[in-house]
């Protein structure tokens, strides 16, 4: 089938392995996510806290710069696990905002244009479709969470006068694990909610609300019933507790503000299962006819 | 082994049996799928694509089970859905390339094939425009382009001429004929328009209330009906009819010089003219008619019998 001949010709070339089709979805999803200037703008803004942390590391390791600015050593942040908890906490907010912006772009366009019958008529399963989209979102969120955090860690290792990086490797591992859990959860939640809302703006609002509203409800439950279990609805708080444990930072002194790791894990697992069920019900080539 | 083999296929959606014990082998090069609304045409297509799991029986495409081996089948199928189904904010060429890559083509080949497919269906000049700016006819064509780009073995077209104006419809029919002529692709065309099926298909499956009302080889029907003829004559009609009976034709005479006859294979129309000339009979009109697909369809719709029927004339 040559362009100038304009007639049909069969394809006789080689085919890619079936498992790589997921990465086709991820690649196109990623390109779609970053084709928006708003996405690029959000990403740029999300790097501002990283710059602040970068300067903090610079001043912590550079006595001459401190002297020039008249900073006393006690006014400079100590670069330790608590510092990197702050990095994660600061980057988790732009990750949430970015997820709420990108996730609807990945799913809502397909649903609004009814593209699923065509997409799923290709050799790609429903799981493969969701996983491909999830990978695209996960990769995008990685750019604002664990990747800059690891770069800050590497910079600290480079600029520290004493050998620092090797003795603090568990911090790096904890950071990556903690950030991966958070963005994996955000990605799944974003896709699940986007699959149920056809309007992109509404989907964006729904994702942010799904994080903030239960946290508020959990706070009310805790206050009214005088129990700590209401915190199980507060995902940002639970992830911060998890980060503290992963990075080896002492938890809250008040036992009423603490939650067992098993309960946190169970709550995140439950939320993820709910998201999977939502996606399973919605991502279909055809509407299910009952009756 | 046919292109599509149905063995007691039963598909249920909820409590409703949509396809009821379909059995048959479809072997044509271009297979038409006919039936009134709700007959189960789209459900059959969805089952062939592996979207529905058969409650009983099985369906095979190129010998592959439609549910267990659906990934392999989908790799060999190009599907053009009935409704609008595309990604509107992508350019035409990017959309077709995306679909070709999903079908398994490497990125470079997918891009090349996307351009070729778009030129093939006549969208070459608008391939960089976003799909949601296309007209209805162009949207139909881009659905066809994405179904063709990866070079499928079976092309499933669900209502390909839906919503097209007469010129666009003719272009679509011509495209289907061109693809058929190329020879490497089998086609399954679902349509409400009998003329579309009649023009393009060599085999037709007619569904009614989820059952096979008729499974008919149109090519064979056309061949067998070639001998059916109507004449309008002036002159000694009776003697003329006696002579042509002598040739082995079945013949019936009607008032006004009208004669209906079934001619054996070895008799040509020219032989009739020779006899007419000898008898001094004028043949004013000769109508060599065959049963139209419409006749076959209407007869299939009249049949209430449950079992699959091979329609003959």
The continuous run of DSSP H or E covering A159 comes out as helix A146-159
Domains annotated on chain B, with CATH: 4-209 (3.40.50.300), 227-288 (3.30.70.270)
Kindly determine whether residue B15 and residue A291, on different chains, have CB atoms separated by under 8 Å: yes
Burial zone of A1 (CB within 10 Å; 0-12 exposed, 13-18 middle, 19+ buried): buried
Could you tell me which residues come within 8 angstroms of residue A20 by beta carbon, excluding any fewer than 6 positions away? none
Q: What is the mean pLDDT of residues A6-15?
A: 84
Note the ipTM here.
Answer: 0.88
Instruction: Number of A to B CB contacts under 8 A, please give it.
Output: 126
| N- to C-terminal Cα separation, chain B | 26
Task: Please tell me the distance from the alpha carbon of residue B93 to that of residue B67, in angstroms, as a whole number.
Answer: 31
What pLDDT, on a 0 to 100 scale, did the predictor assign at position B224?
A: 64
Of A8, A16, A121, the CB nearest to B148: A8
**Higher model confidence: residue B224 or residue A237?**
A237
Q: What is the pLDDT of residues B244-260, one digit of tens each?
A: 888 888 888 888 888 88
Residue A34, pLDDT > 90, answer yes
Task: Please tell me the distance from the alpha carbon of residue B310 to that of residue B313, in angstroms, as a whole number.
Answer: 10
Contacts of A112 in chain B (CB under 8 A): 88
Residue B293, pLDDT > 90, answer no
| Nearest-CA distance B38 → chain A (Å) | 13
Task: Please tell me the distance from the alpha carbon of residue B140 to that of residue B135, in angstroms, as a whole number.
Answer: 9
Task: Please tell me the distance from the alpha carbon of residue A89 to that of residue B250, in angstroms, as a whole number.
Answer: 94
Cβ burial A206-222 (10 Å sphere, 16+ → b, else e): bbeebbeebbeebeebb
Task: Please tell me the distance from the alpha carbon of residue A272 to that of residue A21, in angstroms, as a whole number.
Answer: 24
| Nearest-CA distance A220 → chain B (Å) | 42
For residue B47, give the nearest of B216, B207, B213 by alpha carbon: B207
What pLDDT, on a 0 to 100 scale, did the predictor assign at position B311?
A: 43
Contacts of A121 in chain B (CB under 8 A): 49, 74, 77, 79, 81
Give how far Cα B68 sits from Cα of B61, B65, B73, B74, B81, Å: 11, 6, 10, 12, 22
Task: Please tell me the distance from the alpha carbon of residue A213 to that of residue A211, in angstroms, as a whole number.
Answer: 6
Task: Please tell me the distance from the alpha carbon of residue B130 to that of residue B86, in angstroms, as a whole number.
Answer: 11
What pLDDT, on a 0 to 100 scale, did the predictor assign at position B307?
A: 47
Report phi then psi at B232, rounded to 5: -120, 120
**Could you tell me if A23 and B83 are in contact, meaning their C-beta atoms sit under 8 angstroms apart?**
no
Q: What is the pLDDT of residues A182-228, one digit of tens each?
A: 999 999 999 999 999 888 899 999 999 999 999 999 999 999 988 88
When pLDDT is cut at 50, 70 and 90, the band that residue B228 belongs to is confident
The β-bridge relationship of strands B258-262 and B228-234 is: antiparallel
Could you tell me which residues come within 8 angstroms of residue B182 by beta carbon, excluding any fewer than 6 positions away? A7, A8, A9, A10
Task: Please tell me the distance from the alpha carbon of residue B34 to that of residue B41, in angstroms, as a whole number.
Answer: 7
Contacts of A119 in chain B (CB under 8 A): 99, 102
| Nearest-CA distance A112 → chain B (Å) | 9
Q: Is A19 in CB contact (< 8 Å) with chain B? A: no
Q: What is the mean pLDDT of residues A116-131?
A: 94
Report phi then psi at A289, rounded to 5: -95, 125
When pLDDT is cut at 50, 70 and 90, the band that residue A274 belongs to is very high
Token output for B143:
């659905």
CB within 8 Å of chain B, chain A residues 26-65: 28
Could you tell me which residues come within 8 angstroms of residue B108 by beta carbon, excluding any fewer than 6 positions away? none
* Continuous H helices in chain B: 41-48, 70-76, 92-102, 107-121, 136-148, 166-182, 194-200, 218-224, 237-246, 269-279, 293-302
Q: What is the pLDDT of residues B61-117, one digit of tens each?
A: 999 999 999 999 999 999 999 888 889 889 999 999 999 999 999 999 999 999 999
**Could you tell me if B129 and B91 are in contact, meaning their C-beta atoms sit under 8 angstroms apart?**
yes
- Whole-structure pTM over 0.80, yes or no? yes
């Amino acid at each position: 089938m040559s362009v100038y001949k304009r007639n049909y010709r069969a394809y006789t070339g080689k085919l890619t392995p079936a498992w790589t089709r997921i990465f086709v979805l991820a690649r196109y999803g990623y390109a779609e996510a970053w084709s928006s200037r708003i996405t690029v703008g959000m990403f740029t803004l999300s790097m501002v806290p990283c710059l602040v942390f970068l300067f903090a590391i610079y001043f912590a390791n550079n006595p001459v710069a401190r002297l020039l600015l008249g900073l006393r050593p006690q006014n400079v942040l100590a670069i330790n696990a608590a510092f990197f908890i702050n990095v994660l906490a600061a980057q988790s907010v732009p990750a949430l905002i970015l997820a709420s912006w990108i996730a609807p772009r990945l799913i809502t366009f397909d649903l609004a244009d009814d593209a699923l019958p065509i997409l799923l008529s290709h050799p790609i399963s429903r799981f493969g479709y969701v996983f491909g989209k999830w990978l695209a979102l996960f990769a995008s969120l990685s750019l604002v969470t664990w990747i800059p955090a690891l770069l800050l860690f590497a910079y600290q290792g480079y600029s520290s006068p004493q050998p620092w990086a090797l003795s603090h490797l568990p911090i790096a591992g904890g950071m990556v694990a903690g950030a991966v859990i958070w963005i994996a959860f955000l990605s799944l939640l974003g896709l699940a909610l986007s699959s149920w809302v056809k309007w992109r703006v509404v989907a964006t609002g729904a994702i942010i609300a799904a994080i903030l509203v239960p946290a508020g409800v959990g706070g009310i439950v805790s206050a009214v019933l005088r129990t700590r279990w209401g915190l199980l609805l507060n995902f940002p708080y639970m992830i911060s507790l998890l980060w503290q444990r992963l990075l080896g930072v002492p938890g809250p002194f008040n036992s009423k503000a603490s939650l067992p790791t098993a309960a946190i894990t169970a709550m995140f697992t439950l939320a993820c299962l709910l998201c999977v069920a939502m996606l399973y019900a919605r991502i279909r080539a055809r509407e299910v006819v009952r009756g | 082994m046919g292109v599509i083999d149905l063995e007691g296929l039963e598909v249920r959606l909820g409590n409703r049996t949509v396809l009821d014990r379909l059995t048959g082998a479809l072997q044509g090069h271009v297979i038409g799928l006919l039936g009134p609304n709700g007959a189960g045409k789209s459900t059959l297509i969805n089952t062939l694509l592996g979207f529905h799991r058969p409650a009983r029986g099985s369906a095979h495409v190129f010998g592959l089970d439609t549910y267990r081996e659906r990934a392999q089948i989908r790799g060999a199928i190009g599907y053009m859905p009935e409704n609008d189904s595309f990604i509107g904010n992508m350019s035409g060429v990017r959309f077709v390339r995306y679909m070709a890559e999903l079908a398994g083509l490497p990125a470079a080949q997918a891009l090349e094939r996307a351009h070729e497919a778009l030129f093939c269906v006549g969208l070459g000049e608008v391939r960089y425009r976003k799909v949601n700016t296309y007209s209805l006819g162009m949207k139909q064509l881009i659905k066809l382009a994405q179904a063709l780009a990866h070079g499928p073995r079976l092309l499933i077209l669900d209502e390909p001429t839906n919503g097209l104006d007469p010129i666009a419809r003719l272009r679509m029919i011509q495209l289907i004929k061109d693809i058929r002529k190329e020879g490497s692709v089998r086609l399954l065309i679902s349509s409400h328009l009998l003329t579309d099926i009649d023009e393009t298909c060599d085999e037709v499956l007619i569904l009614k209330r989820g059952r096979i009302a008729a499974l008919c080889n149109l090519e064979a029907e056309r061949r067998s009906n070639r001998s059916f003829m109507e004449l309008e004559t002036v002159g000694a009609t009776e003697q003329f009819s006696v002579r042509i009976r002598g040739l082995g034709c079945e013949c019936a005479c009607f008032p006004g010089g009208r004669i209906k006859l079934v001619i054996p294979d070895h008799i040509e129309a020219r032989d009739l003219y020779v006899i007419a000339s000898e008898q001094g009979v004028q043949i004013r009109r000769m109508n060599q008619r065959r049963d139209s697909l419409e006749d076959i369809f209407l007869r299939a719709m009249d049949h209430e019998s449950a079992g699959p029927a091979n329609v003959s004339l």
